[in-house]
Amino acid sequence: MKFLILNGPNLNLLGSREPGIYGANTYEGLCRRLESFAAAHGSAAACVQSNHEGAIIDAIHAAQGVYDAIVMNPGAFTHYSYAILDALKAVDVPCIEVHISNVHKREEFRHKSVTAAACVGQICGLGLYGYEAAMGYFLAQRGNPPAQT
């Protein structure tokens, strides 16, 4: 499978940004980890990160016909970007929304996702493993379940 791993604003600062919430691993480390996970399952993962809403929308549009699935952490756009919601609805590429932290244990404004309605599902609170869990779901759907660890 070909995965697009799409991360939104401030996720480029993983490792230094609020490590008590998001952990000590860097964004680059996350990308290498997901590329390895994909390769171990006969797949490929391309990592894209942007702090700009329009660039994220462009990446979703460009995924059509190129990627089999999107794993997206829209960052704070999760909570208010109807434009990203519409972009997901406009393409035929399934998406799972991932949040590193458990947004439901945090401020009230993080409890609402406007983008999840266009996704297959949402994973939150599992740390970086959530990205692999989302990829594993898509692999299982394709009859290629991830190896048990």
What are the catalytic residues?
A: 22, 99
Is residue 10 involved in binding ligand DQA (CB under 6 A)?
yes
Amino acid at 127: G
Q: Does 51 bind ligand DQA (CB under 6 A)?
A: no
Binding residues among 53-112 for ligand DQA as defined by CB under 6 A: 73, 75-76, 78, 99-101, 103, 110
Nearest to ligand DQA of 69, 103 (CB atom): 103
Is 89:118 a contact under the CB 8 Å cutoff? yes
The CA-CA-CA angle for residues 119, 121, 127, to 5°, reads 115
Q: Is 115 a binder of ligand DQA (CB under 6 A)? A: no
CB of 11 to ligand DQA, least distance (A): 6
The set of residues, in sequence order, having a beta carbon less than 8 Å from that of 43 and lying 6+ positions away, is 1, 2, 3, 135, 139, 144
Task: For residue 115, give both structure tokens.
Answer: 């983008």
Binding site for ligand DQA (CB under 6 A): 10, 73, 75-76, 78, 99-101, 103, 110
